Amino acid sequence: MSNKKKTNDSLALKVLSNPLGIASVSIITAFILFGILVPIFSPWDPNSPDIYSSLTMPSADHWFGADSAGRDVFTRLAMSTRFSLMTASVAVIVAIVCGVLTGLIAGYFGGWFDNVSSWITSIVMALPGLVVLLASITVIGPSMWYSMAIFGVLMSPAYFRLVYTTVRGVRNELYVDAARVAGLTDTRIIGRHILGVVRAPIIIQTAIVASIAIAIQSGIEFLGLGDRNTPSWGAMLNEAFMKIYDFPILLVWPSVTIALISISLVIFANTVRDELERTGPRRKKVSGGKS
């Protein structure tokens, strides 16, 4: 247990010692704190209009200015950050639970579960994702929480295929057979040996899915299909495009935020993946020639 903890600690230190790693972690952490703390301490209500502050340039009172309704852009951006990150997390969690769990079971055990899960995965992959999302909004309403849960289900085949293919490739390796002979249960083998092989691809896939979820959520809100009473990056972009000629600065804040958080997620995932590949267990090739 101590060796595992030491490995995790060294991995964290190596990621934080990497310039790209520390930069991405800093940006992601800053956005999380921004979304948590600013709405608590801000004196402005993100949904309260003030006609006298309409389209105000950045100032001491409104750091990022005010929109066409006089609402403080800084506070609305913080509320949007909290909402967007939380809804994107819902999509990621649902996709991981559905895709990784079924991929591990199907890849390791095979049998009827493999056939059924592969068949269901093929059906989900054949569905037009955007059409399904738009149709679900008309049925369940403009709740982005339910929409992102459905999006997570639609993205779960990406995890399933990734995990399934990797597990199928290693389940008959010598070290897995040795673990079975040693008396380890299937759960222990999956937890100690199989997950170590698929964790790096899962991290990369998670960053990609999170970035896509943020983009999809913002796009739906931009089209005006979300809850208008909840501040979001997409809703802010929608209003900014309406005022792009009169007050173009409104377009800067949500677009830069979306770009920064998406790029930071991908860079962080790639940094962790690289460190895992350097520090992870290496299997020796048993061959009679080149290694």
Spell out the per-residue pLDDT of the chain, length 291, in tens: 444 454 555 767 777 788 888 999 899 999 999 999 988 888 888 888 878 878 888 888 888 888 888 888 888 999 999 999 999 999 999 999 999 999 988 888 888 888 999 999 999 998 888 888 888 888 888 888 999 999 999 999 999 998 988 888 887 777 777 877 777 777 788 777 788 788 878 888 888 899 999 999 998 988 888 887 888 898 889 888 888 888 888 888 999 999 999 999 989 888 887 777 766 544 444 334 443
Strand residue runs (E) in the chain: none
From the number of C-beta atoms within 10 Å of its C-beta (0-12, 13-18, 19+), residue 182 rates as exposed
Close Cβ partners of 290 (under 8 Å, ≥ 6 residues apart): none
- Name the residue among 155, 133, 154 with its Cα closest to residue 144: 133
Q: Do residues 161 and 103 make contact, with C-beta atoms less than 8 angstroms apart?
A: yes
Give the bridge partners for 66, in sequence order.
Answer: 72
Please tell me the distance from the alpha carbon of residue 144 to that of residue 10, in angstroms, as a whole number.
38
| φ, ψ at 71 (rounded to 5°) | -80, 145
| CA angle (211 as vertex; 106, 143 as ends), nearest 5 | 90
- Give residue 290's pLDDT: 41
- Name the residue among 263, 254, 251 with its Cα closest to residue 231: 254
- Give residue 99's pLDDT: 92
Give the 3-state secondary structure percentages of the chain, helix then strand then coil, rounded to 5: 75, 0, 25
- Give residue 287's pLDDT: 37
- Give residue 264's pLDDT: 92
- Name the residue among 144, 140, 262 with its Cα closest to residue 211: 262
Close Cβ partners of 46 (under 8 Å, ≥ 6 residues apart): 39, 71, 72, 75, 76, 78, 79, 231
- Give residue 9's pLDDT: 58
- Give residue 151's pLDDT: 93
Close Cβ partners of 237 (under 8 Å, ≥ 6 residues apart): 218, 221, 222, 251, 254, 255
Following DSSP, what letter does each residue of 24-83 receive, concatenated? Answer: HHHHHHHHHHHHHHHHHH-SS-TT---GGGTTPPS-SSSTT-B-TT--BHHHHHHHHHHH
3-class SS at 9? helix
Following DSSP, what letter does each residue of 226-250 receive, concatenated? Answer: S-TTS--HHHHHHHHHHTTTT-GGG
- Give residue 239's pLDDT: 87
- Predicted TM-score (pTM) of the model is 0.82
Q: Do residues 239 and 70 make contact, with C-beta atoms less than 8 angstroms apart?
A: no
- Name the residue among 184, 206, 222 with its Cα closest to residue 270: 206
- Give residue 8's pLDDT: 53
3-class SS at 280? coil
- Give residue 32's pLDDT: 92
Amino acid 263 reads I
- Give residue 53's pLDDT: 79
Amino acid 144 reads M
Strand residue runs (E) in 127-193: none
Please tell me the distance from the alpha carbon of residue 100 to that of residue 227, in angstroms, as a whole number.
31
- Give residue 282's pLDDT: 46
- Give residue 160's pLDDT: 93
